[in-house]
Amino acid sequence: MKEPVILDTGPIIALLNRRDAYHDWMTHQIKSITPPLLTCEAVITEACFLANRDIGGTNGVINLALNGFMKVPFHFDNEMDTIKNLMLKYANVPVSFADACLVRMAEIYPNSAVLTLDSDFQIYRKNKNQVIPVIMPDSH
């Protein structure tokens, strides 16, 4: 896949944790995706927290960035108002800060898809009313 792929937290953990229910699915997905995958610091924060708790360390997460698998082009300083508005719009879902950042990234990269395990991305919309393309289990 040559279009930008935006990376959520769940797939990072699934990739790193061989015991994760989605590890095999994720391993299969990355064979058709051209790195780097795009993400935000909020996703890296979540992934580091979960990796430290569930798989004993954050090195795997950080190494994904160091080896060029993912990069972080998103800058919250430039997107504060938009993120605030998205969090207000989806407060009833509820939306996490990381998810709001990924929705904004889907707007910034119009031909992108979000690689996620989170079904809330079927609810979220980019540019107010556009479906966000997703790569997720059973999304076909």
Q: List pLDDT tens digits, range 40-65.
A: 999 999 999 999 887 767 899 999 99
Residue 54 lies in a domain: yes
- To the nearest whole number, what is the mean pLDDT of the chain? 94
Q: Of 52 and 121, which is predicted with more confidence?
A: 121
Residue 66 lies in a domain: yes
Residue 15 lies in a domain: yes
Burial class (CB in 10 A: 0-12, 13-18, 19+), 127: exposed
Q: Which CATH number does the domain housing residue 49 bear?
A: 3.40.50.1010
* pLDDT at residue 1 greater than cutoff 60: no
Domain assignment of residue 27, given as a range: 5-135
Residue 140 lies in a domain: no
Query: What's the pLDDT at 140?
Result: 47
Burial call 5-21: b when 16+ CB within 10 Å, e when fewer: bbbbbbbbbbbbbeebe
Tally of domains in the chain: 1
Q: What is the DSSP string of 28-49?
A: HHHTT-PSPEE--HHHHHHHHH
